[in-house]
Structure 1
Amino acid sequence: MAEIKKVTLQNGKTRWRFVIDAGRDAQGKRKQLTVTCDTQKEAKDEYARLRNERKTGQLILPNKITVAQLIDEYLNSKEDDLEETTIDGYGNRLVHARDYFGQIRLQELTEDDVEQWVAWLLVAARRRGGPKGTGLRATTVDGVLGRFRAALRYAKRKRYVGRNVAEDIAVPRKARKQDRRDNQRAKPWNVVEVKEFVLGAREDRLFAPLLLSLMGMRPAEVAGLRWTEDVDFTAGTLAAGANTRTMLRNATTIEKDAKTEAGDRTLPLPDPVRLALLNFRVLQEAERAAAGEDYVDSGYLFVDEIGQALTTRDLREAAYRLMERLELRRVRLYDVPAQLLDFPRGERRPGRRSRRLGRPHERVVHEEEVRASDGRRHGRRGDSAERTSRGVRGAARTPDVRKSEKSLIAESPKRPLTCDGADVRRARQRL
């Protein structure tokens, strides 16, 4: 047992002090901890506690690490494990913790501090995306708190702190309910709206990329498609996720492969999409002939009139412009129900996730959507062959809706090209 010494201070007061071994550092140098207490009993109790924690491997040495330093170290530790865009997203979520806690020492952080921080996030933390100084949405605060909680778990694993003071902190339930009432999520398009979008997009230059979005492909996957490596017209397949082009803060384009194995997948090409892609390829060859040496041979599928690769932002803006022109509800491309084109047979069941095609973690298809699309619920009857007919599936089974997308494309008027007929003929011969 270490000796507990009585120490007399200059002002005449007495203290009790002891020194205990705390192991060795990374260089093998012995570390010691000096503890001073007001009474001998407090010193004995503290020595017993530290000795037990050292024996059980739970001893946490005092340090001067601040919350800001922890956040920097936490983000640096993720560089070899996560992609650049993901790390940037982590940094965005931790910026409020860095600003609020700043130079507070990590070991001095308490649960009360975290609770007050959460309350501040809900009422005054907004910096952009709305009136400055107002509160963030409860869902946003939940994500911010979750990432800070993960950073504190890292600190606990590195033995900077003995416990995670944010582990049991949560966004108040009242704030969650109020957020749901104030920000109701827009319903995804129904089948009729998808049909109107497809019909209205036929004369758009980007008809083929927009159809790929309806297949459940992410915008980054559409932007990263390459004609030679990813599109196989002979086999009728498409390599989704083999190459993606995503945007970092809407400013920098990052090209990479799929994040997970599930994201790297091969999709069959329905006839409507295959025909649209063939027409898009012919149009690009005609544009190449018209532009001459000014044409950029990027090899990407999603390009502008002179061959320059477009981005996910361009795809979204093109879709939003089309929605406005067609007077359709503006929804995210993610909220357009996937697999509404003619894919291999398979029933879409209410409340079940489908991994046949499209996004590997596709959203749940709700029962009302199934009722609207095929009339299989609540006593509605009809010919089963008609309900699974090829093409876009419509809620109202009119002859117009039952037409396949293949016939819709064939009947659509040809889009006027920005080049003459000779260029088109030469482009078709090259293909």
Structure 2
Amino acid sequence: MPPGQDGRRRRTMGGPFPTRGIAETELAKALARLHTGGHTDTDRELTVARYLDDWMEGKVKLRASTRRSYESHIRLYLKPGLGHLRLADLRDHHVEQLYAAMRQIGHASKEGKPSPLLRRLVEVRQDSPDRRRPMSPARIRRVHATVMSALNSAVKRRKISHNPAQYVELASGRAPKPLVWTAGRVAAWQNSGRRPSPVMVWTPAQAGAFLDFAAADRLYPLWHLVAYRGPRRGEAVALGWADVDLDAGSAYIRDNLPDPDDFGEDEWGDPKSDAGFRPISLDSRTVTVLVTWRATQNAERLLHGPDWVDCGRVFTHENGRRLTPNGVSQRFDRLLARFTTIRREHEDKGWDTAFLAARHRMPVVAIETALAFGPLPPIRLHDLRHTAASLTYRATRDLKLVSELLGHSSIQFTSDVYTSIFEEVDRDAAEAVADIVPRAHRPAGSAPEGTVATDSPMGTVVNFDRGKDVTG
């Protein structure tokens, strides 16, 4: 077996097989998989690990964020999984076995004992805070993209005759479409505890209830910015004061703090694409929130004196130290859990608002918000960005504006991802259009003219009289 982290080679057992004949059959199959077909004039001793090092040295035109992504994939997966193999001996089943082991990360092994390949992958992740986090199909596809790029380059350089990873099948990495937390879905979630989709979006009322509840939280300005203007989690955490102009009411997204599983905590990455470098306008409420926050941060600077860490970021810890994306997400999750806990404690134990405020160290008005609003269904911090997209589209009906706000590379991508949200928002427009058409006789069961329906999942729908302007 290839050397472990200590540099020493290891042995493993193949089998056991019930009979010698079956063992010999399996041996023949294994040898058949290792045959080399036609290959080119390459160094037979060139290993995958050494080739990947040479390949990275030759990639001089990579963006910094792409280089860090490649280096992360090579360090965490390709070298421990395939690095010991000779490049000329690399076959599709080696790549398939690597991806199978990657899918087992973070899951209990059905066989009870992890495979040697899985153990090698886990060993190099010991220092990662997300070493036990399961890998999504989308992430495996990103690693596969690195594999394909490296091996396609090897084919072009005539180091191998073909790309053995070319026809390896992968699970779909398509992201689930966001769904809105309608009243019916909230009720179903309360009964079953299950979300209709991994990606859920709040209605305007739900977003407002959360922001009212979290108004006294130290990181409220960050929650406010993401809910109103929709920067990515890493973009919000990396935002610097140098890129914020409160007098002009604008900010420029220039940095993105990457996933800690990919890069070191002290590294700052570029936005995900060229479209990610973008200005965003700040409404007057957001400007007021950030002005107040800057004053709070300056007071903390004076309080800590020489111990203050000037990292230049807008959102920081009390001592100026930079935030981490995972820490911000965990704080957001705790706030949502506290909202639900307060409601449960009030209902089950009869505790009043004053006692709950003291118990949870929150203002009475925050407790009153949680008790008065009703159940607040869970979302991820990233889903707050989806909520901002929904709010922007609801206010403007401008898909291009939403795409530019979110920093997407194309309007088509925005449309594909947010179709389910936009369909629900557009029901308001559908009702308005229907009321423009003059009818002598209304269909049976339709609401009388001039009435107001208030049971729309996305808010109030107004039916207007014929001949009047539509101004809802």
From 108, 128, 132, give the equivalent of 1:131. 108
CA distance, structure 2, for counterparts of residue 114 and residue 222 of structure 1: 41
User: Do the aligned partners of 2:52 and 2:74 also contact (CA within 8 Å) in 1?
Assistant: no
Pick closer, same or farther for the CA change 1:212–1:92 going to 2, 3 Å.
same
User: Do the aligned partners of 1:114 and 1:165 also contact (CA within 8 Å) in 2?
Assistant: yes
Structure 2 residue 295 is the aligned partner of structure 1 residue 282? yes
Q: Report the Cα offset of residue 160 of structure 1.
A: 0.7
Give 1:17-416 correspondences, 5 Å limit: 60-64=40-44, 65-78=46-59, 81-83=62-64, 86-92=67-73, 95-109=76-90, 113-115=91-93, 117-118=95-96, 121-122=99-100, 124-126=101-103, 128-131=105-108, 133=114, 138-171=137-170, 185-191=197-203, 192-214=205-227, 215-227=229-241, 229-241=242-254, 243-246=255-258, 248-249=260-261, 251-255=264-268, 258=271, 260-327=273-340, 328-336=376-384, 337=386, 338-339=388-389, 346-348=396-398, 354-361=402-409, 363-364=414-415, 366-370=418-422, 372-373=424-425, 375-376=427-428, 379=431, 395-397=458-460
SS in 2 for 1:262: helix
SS in 2 for 1:238: strand
SS in 2 for 1:266: strand
User: Do the aligned partners of 1:244 and 1:256 also contact (CA within 8 Å) in 2?
Assistant: yes
5+ residue gaps, structure 2: 1-37, 119-134, 177-194, 341-375, 437-455, 462-472
Aligned-partner residue type, residue 107 of structure 2: G
Q: Report the Cα offset of residue 217 of structure 1.
A: 1.0
SS in 1 for 2:276: coil
User: Do the aligned partners of 1:270 and 1:343 also contact (CA within 8 Å) in 2?
Assistant: no
CA distance, structure 2, for counterparts of residue 139 and residue 154 of structure 1: 23
User: Do the aligned partners of 1:118 and 1:145 also contact (CA within 8 Å) in 2?
Assistant: no
Pick closer, same or farther for the CA change 1:116–1:263 going to 2, 3 Å.
closer
For residues 142-174 of structure 1, give each alpha carbon's deviation from its aligned partner in whole angstroms, at most 9, with x where no partner exists. 443332222110101222122223223323xxx
CA distance, structure 1, for counterparts of residue 199 and residue 234 of structure 2: 23
Pick closer, same or farther for the CA change 1:381–1:320 going to 2, 3 Å.
farther
Q: Percent identity?
A: 23
CA distance, structure 2, for counterparts of residue 235 and residue 344 of structure 1: 25
For residues 256-298 of structure 1, give each alpha carbon's deviation from its aligned partner in whole angstroms, at most 9, with x where no partner exists. 5546542221111012211111121222233334444544444
User: Do the aligned partners of 1:156 and 1:162 also contact (CA within 8 Å) in 2?
Assistant: yes
Q: Report the Cα offset of residue 231 of structure 1.
A: 1.6
User: Do the aligned partners of 2:95 and 2:168 also contact (CA within 8 Å) in 1?
Assistant: no
Aligned-partner residue type, residue 287 of structure 1: E
5+ residue gaps, structure 1: 1-49, 51-58, 385-392, 399-431
Aligned-partner residue type, residue 202 of structure 2: N
For residues 153-198 of structure 1, give each alpha carbon's deviation from its aligned partner in whole angstroms, at most 9, with x where no partner exists. 0101222122223223323xxx659x99xx9851321324323322
Q: Report the aligned-residue RMSD.
A: 4.0
User: Do the aligned partners of 1:67 and 1:106 also contact (CA within 8 Å) in 2?
Assistant: yes
CA distance, structure 1, for counterparts of residue 239 and residue 136 of structure 2: 35
Pick closer, same or farther for the CA change 1:73–1:224 going to 2, 3 Å.
same
User: Do the aligned partners of 2:239 and 2:253 also contact (CA within 8 Å) in 1?
Assistant: yes
Pick closer, same or farther for the CA change 1:272–1:375 going to 2, 3 Å.
farther
CA distance, structure 2, for counterparts of residue 297 and residue 138 of structure 1: 39
Q: Report the Cα offset of residue 237 of structure 1.
A: 1.0
Q: Report the Cα offset of residue 202 of structure 1.
A: 1.4
SS in 2 for 1:203: coil
Query: Which structure is higher in strand share?
Result: 1
Aligned-partner residue type, residue 230 of structure 2: G
